[in-house]
Amino acid sequence: MNKFSKKDYMMTRRSFRFIEAVILFIFVGVLPCCGSPGETPEPDVLEKFSDAERCFSEKNYTEAGERYQKIVEIEPGHYRSLTRLGEISLLMIEYDDALAYFKEAQKHGKDYLPAYEGMAQIYMEREEWEKAIDTYEDMLDIDSDNLDAMAKIGEIYYKAGNTKKAMRFFEKGLKIKSNHYESCYNMGKISFANKDYNEAQKYFLNSLKSKPRSFEANYNLGLTYYHLNRYDEAIGFFRRAVKIDPDSVETYYAMGRALMLTGTYDEAQAWYNKALELEPGLYQAYVDIGIIHKETGLFLDAEEYFRKAIEIKTDCFEAYLNLGLLYLDQEKFKMAEDALAKAVRIRPEDTSALKSLGIVRIKLGKPDSAVSVLKDAIKVSPEDIDLHISLGNIYCSAGKYKEAFDSFENALSLDPESDKAYIGIGEVYLKKGDKKKAEEAFIKASKVNPRSFETFVSLGRLYREMEDYDRAREAFLRVVELKPDLYEIYVDIAEINLNQNKDLNGALVMVNTALKAYHGYSRGHEIKGRILLSMGKKDEAKMELNKALKTDPENISAKKFLDSIQDKGKPDGEVDGETESEGGDETEAVEETPEVETGKKPGDKPKETEGSKDLKLNVEK
């Protein structure tokens, strides 16, 4: 083995000193921790800076600031410490001090990007957009591929309304990195604002690849799916968003909205209630809960919630609109008129309110006023097919058949395959007594839209009037297949069975289904009473007929049959109580377990409610 000589030792020592010098040079250049060029760093600056960084990372900003200040006292040009002092001042919202620190840092570290970034942030906070852009462009001069600077410039142009220029910067960033979060997210926002929801979906999904726990991306992706009517997917992303931010009022509200539109009413109301716990003044939630109660037949509760919304926001259009529709459903036409007139005063250009007000006024025997309201609505939206159809219906109700035909023809000129226009034409023929032409019009409607439940309602009632009960039943069964929550039709089917003395147990199932959906339905209780009377169950029949009169004292038919039981037994035409019916004594079991379900379940499409989709969700975060 070779001996290690003194000469070797001296050479090795010099080598180590050289390495130490290189290491020191590297630290000075990379960290960098020195002041102005030519100055020799103090030996303990690195250690002091390391201690200050530890305090900063622990968010102990007061102590960190003191330590950075001591470093600057030792080395006035220590730009990393100056930048940190600027960041601490920025956190304390001391913008002037922060700006001074960042400017001083830039003097000594001309290419040190964090100093520029801090300065740009101050300009953003102060909304000094031109200065912010200049600073971010300085950053791009230092690093032409700085994605964050590109995105920030894009955001400024977007806020200023220059969407095209904003997109150029976002797209430039995406060419460098296809899933850059800020670029993807902002492109998603732009697509959403342009109602290009498919594009928005792609961008938001891409942004989540970079930041899967971004509240904003999850929430806005949920909103995107909501607007695409993909409610289950929307609900999934709202659930993710609320896990990230459990105090997000807008997420609870949006979740309630999506659940409501899938017919999952109980869970929807729970989410609305959570939103109201966090923000009691959220009037939109009261409106939506009112709509839920209206849809489930809880009219008093619905009215209460609409009134609560009005207490919070006296000019709440949606509350007045839905309150008017609630009264219209209950045939409280004067109250409906008052509520809808207020809705029109708040938003005179809204055609849904004008249309509903026209319908109410025709019910109140004010055809001229109704026509005037609808004509005003058509002036606002001349290409709105529904307005022409509504005007046609009003003319038809008023007996102005030529004007009605003209309105329906106007609708068909806008849409030759409008099933509602053909239904309207059929109703006019029916009013004129031409049942053959009425049938032809209804059949035409069923061909242009085989899934139009309204067409089969009209056909069923036409065939019932023609006493063609088999075809009437067939049409009504098609209605409940297409629209399972239309409780009135179950009663129509039950009445047909009753009139034919056919399958009374099945009729009882149908009427029970209707009453389960809306227990306050007077005609439902009346028909059930008559069915029970035909089955010889007089006491139960009396109970149901009394319920019918309690919910509607003007129900003449219910009163007639109740009087017949009390005075002289059953009226002529009813089946003898002793006559054996299908199923006989099995009726009670049928009542307990009806076979038809119309209750709202996840996946069921709720009945369209005017105004239910007009409420605006918070679109962006």
Domains of the chain: 400-472 (1.25.40.10), 504-592 (1.25.40)
Helices 95-108 and 113-125 pack at an angle, to 10 degrees, of: 150
Structure tokens at 476: 């009504």
Q: Which residue type is seen at 107?
A: K
DSSP assignments along 217-240, one per residue? HHHHHHHHHHHTT-HHHHHHHHHH
DSSP labels, 316-330 = -HHHHHHHHHHHHHT
Tens of pLDDT, residue by residue over 118-132, are 999 999 888 899 998
Measured CA to CA, the distance from residue 494 to residue 507 in angstroms comes to 4
Q: What is the pTM for the complete model shown?
A: 0.63
Query: Does residue 190 or residue 615 have the better pLDDT?
Result: 190
Rounded to an integer, what distance in angstroms lies between the CA atom of residue 473 and that of residue 477?
6
pLDDT at 162: 87
Per DSSP, the three-state class of 566 is helix
The amino acid occupying position 16 is F
Residue 473's alpha-carbon distances to 48, 192, 534, in angstroms, are: 90, 46, 20
**Residues ≥6 apart with Cβ < 8 Å to 343:** 317, 320, 321, 324, 350, 353, 357
Supply angle C-alpha 385, 388, 394, rounded to 5: 140
Q: Averaged over 137-146, what is the pLDDT?
A: 90
Mean pLDDT over 31-42 rounds to 45
Residue 574 pLDDT greater than 70, yes or no: no
CA distance 606 to 297: 13
Span 485-491, average pLDDT:
90
Bigger pLDDT: 579 or 281?
Answer: 281
Question: Which tens digit of pLDDT belongs to each residue from 303-339?
Answer: 999 999 999 999 999 999 999 999 999 989 999 999 9
The mean per-residue pLDDT over the stretch 284-288 comes to 97
pLDDT tens for 260-278 read 999 999 999 999 999 999 9
Return the sign of the alpha-carbon dihedral for residues 169, 172, 173, 179.
positive
- pLDDT over 90 for what percent of the chain? 59
Q: Are 69 and 89 within 8 A, CB to CB?
A: no
Provide DSSP, 168-182. HHHHHHHHH-TT-HH
Taking the C-alpha atoms of 533, 538, 544 and 549 in order, what is their torsion angle to the nearest 10 degrees?
90
CA distance 355 to 352: 5
Specify the higher pLDDT residue, 414 or 29.
Answer: 414
Q: Is 229 left (phi over 0), alpha (psi -120 to 50) or beta?
A: left
pLDDT recorded at residue 508 = 93
Of residues 560 and 567, which shows the higher confidence score?
A: 560
Dihedral, CA atoms, 406, 411, 414, 419, nearest 10 degrees? -130
pLDDT digits (tens, 9 = 90+) for 199-249: 999 999 999 999 999 999 999 999 999 999 999 999 999 999 999 999 999
Residue 210: count other Cβ atoms within 10 Å of its Cβ.
Answer: 17
Cα–Cα distance for residue pair 539/565, rounded to 1 Å = 9
pLDDT of residue 503: 87
1 CB neighbour count, 10 Å cutoff:
3
* Rounded average pLDDT over 537-547: 92
Number of neighbouring beta carbons within 10 Å of residue 3: 5
| Band of pLDDT at residue 23, cut at 50, 70 and 90 | very low
Residue (of 138, 121, 141, 140) closest to 129 by Cα position: 121
Task: For CA atoms 375, 376, 378, 379, give the dihedral sign.
Answer: positive
User: In the structure encoding, which two tokens stand for residue 164, read together?
Assistant: 């095209």
User: How many Å from the N-terminal Cα to the C-terminal Cα in the chain?
Assistant: 74
Helices (H), 283-400: 283-295, 299-312, 317-329, 333-346, 351-363, 367-380, 385-397
pLDDT band at 43 (very low <50, low <70, confident <90, very high): low
Q: What are phi and psi of 563, to 5 degrees?
A: -60, -40
pLDDT of residue 453: 93
Residue 38 has pLDDT above 90, yes or no: no
Range from 207-216, 506-515, 527-536, 565-574 carrying the lowest mean pLDDT:
565-574
pLDDT category at 10 given cuts 50, 70, 90 is very low
Confidence of residue 381 (pLDDT cuts 50, 70, 90): confident
Residue 268 and residue 613: Cα distance in Å, rounded? 15
CA distance 195 to 226: 12
**CA–CA separation, 188 vs 217, rounded Å?**
9
Per-residue model confidence (pLDDT) at position 320: 98
Encode pLDDT of 45-56 as tens digits. 889 999 999 999
Q: pLDDT for 590-621, tens place per residue?
A: 333 334 444 443 334 344 343 333 334 544 44
Contact 64/92 with Cβ under 8 angstroms? no
Euclidean distance between CA atoms 373 and 581, whole angstroms: 52
- Rounded average pLDDT over 338-364: 91
pLDDT of the residue at 617: 53
Q: What does the mean pLDDT of the chain come to?
A: 84
Residue whose C-alpha is closest to residue 101's, from 412, 281, 109, 615: 109
Q: How far apart are alpha carbons 88 and 97 in whole angstroms?
A: 10
